[in-house]
Amino acid sequence: MDQFKHLHPKFREVAALPDEQRKQFIKQKRWINYPVATRAINILAETLNYPKQARMPWLLLTGDSNNGKTSIIERFCKLHGEEYVTEEEEILIKPVVVIEQSGPSIRDLYYTILKNFWAPIGPNTVISTMRNEALSHLLQSKTQMLIIDEFHTLNNGTARAKNDALAEIKRISNTLRIPIVATGIPAAANIIREDSQIQSRFTSMQLPKWRLNKDFRSLLNAFEKVLPLREPSELASKKLATEIHAISQGNLGNIHELLKVCANSAITKGTEKIDVDIVESFSCYTPTDGPRYIEL
């Protein structure tokens, strides 16, 4: 298609669709590649394939809320950790198991692991039974990596509970000889600093906020190529890039959400491109710890 050359060839046909279909397309989640994410995924892949030994490497991936951690993990799992069932034995193979921790609870740790395998767990199941069941499932499914999201929630309890949870995670890694990947907000780093043995196992990676530079403009170019608008917006121009960065404060999730609502508005208004007026009209899309208010 010769039209819409400002878009990636894969998405040019989408720009020709009716307005409502294009708006639905904009709402869909899709991967936008950028150098920091590529490096993080490559490091995760190297760790996944680390030779089994008594002391396996651990990784800590931290970043501000809504700054791309979950998307990186999801992309990594799609590329390197998708589950499948063997043809002959019909065994479920899960190279990567991802769990979300809600606190320093050993019961919660094993319960969330077992949920990945749809294992029936009674309300009064003792922890030792849960542990044995979880380790058995992980071993049978040839799991090569355990990813623990919301790792910072281990701080939501007593020091003893946190230490017990860390010891249990260490037990999983040592027993199965698999690496552990922990993800969370920057406060998660405090957890490992308090234990020299745990700290020595971890290599830390921190997702930075975007700065107003060449890489940021390159990111905006990548976004523009997938937004099905019929006119070029030139998001990487100095004026637009500066305004987008000021509103988003360099937070990747907020950049994405801001551009989605701006693209939707451009379709509704018929401008078919994102301009400064549209961006400024959504200045509420700035990082916040509380609810976001939209003026009606």
Give this prediction's pTM: 0.90
Res 148: pLDDT = 97
Q: Report whether pLDDT(12) > 80.
A: yes
CB 182 within 8 A of CB 165: no
Question: Where residue 286 falls among pLDDT bands split at 50, 70, 90?
Answer: confident
pLDDT at 1 exceeding the cut of 70: no
Whether 196 shows a pLDDT value over 90: the answer reads no
Measured distance CA(275)–CA(240) in Å, rounded: 7
Domains in the chain, start-ordered, CATH in brackets? Answer: 9-29+211-281 (no CATH), 35-206 (3.40.50.300)
Token pair belonging to 50: 């680390």
Q: How confident is the model at residue 211 (pLDDT cuts 50, 70, 90)?
A: very high
Helix intervals (H) in the chain: 12-15, 19-27, 35-48, 69-80, 106-115, 127-140, 159-176, 188-193, 196-201, 214-224, 238-248, 252-269, 276-281
Report residue 216's pLDDT band, with 50, 70 and 90 as the boundaries. Answer: very high
- The yes-or-no verdict on residue 290 having pLDDT over 70 is no
∠ Cα 227 68 263 (to 5°)? 20
Q: For 81-126, where are the alpha helices, taking DSSP H only? A: 106-115
pLDDT interval class at 280 (50, 70, 90): very high
Pair 47, 60: CB distance under 8 Å: no
Q: How many CB atoms lie within 10 A of CB 254?
A: 22
Say which DSSP state 194 is in: T
pLDDT of residue 292: 60
Both tokens of 64, joined, read: 């501000």
- Stronger pLDDT, 3 or 129, i.e. the higher one: 129
At residue 84, does pLDDT exceed 70?
Answer: yes
Say if CB 145 and CB 97 are below 8 A apart.
yes
Instruction: Name the percent of the chain lying above pLDDT 70.
Output: 96
Which amino acid is present at 167? A
pLDDT of residue 3: 83
Query: Could you tell me how many residues make up the chain?
Result: 296
More confident residue, 73 or 196: 73
Is-contact 36 44, C-beta < 8 A?
no
pLDDT of 294 over the 80 cut: no
- Per-residue tokens: 281: 């009209």
Q: Which two tokens stand for residue 43?
A: 């490091």
Average pLDDT of span 223-238: 96
Task: List, for residues 18-53, the tens digit of each pLDDT value.
Answer: 999 999 999 999 899 999 999 999 999 999 999 999
Give me the mean pLDDT over the 143-159 stretch. Answer: 95
Residue 289 has pLDDT above 80, yes or no: no
pLDDT band at residue 141 using 50, 70 and 90 as cut-offs: very high
Q: Report yes or no: 272 and 231 within 8 Å, Cβ to Cβ.
A: yes
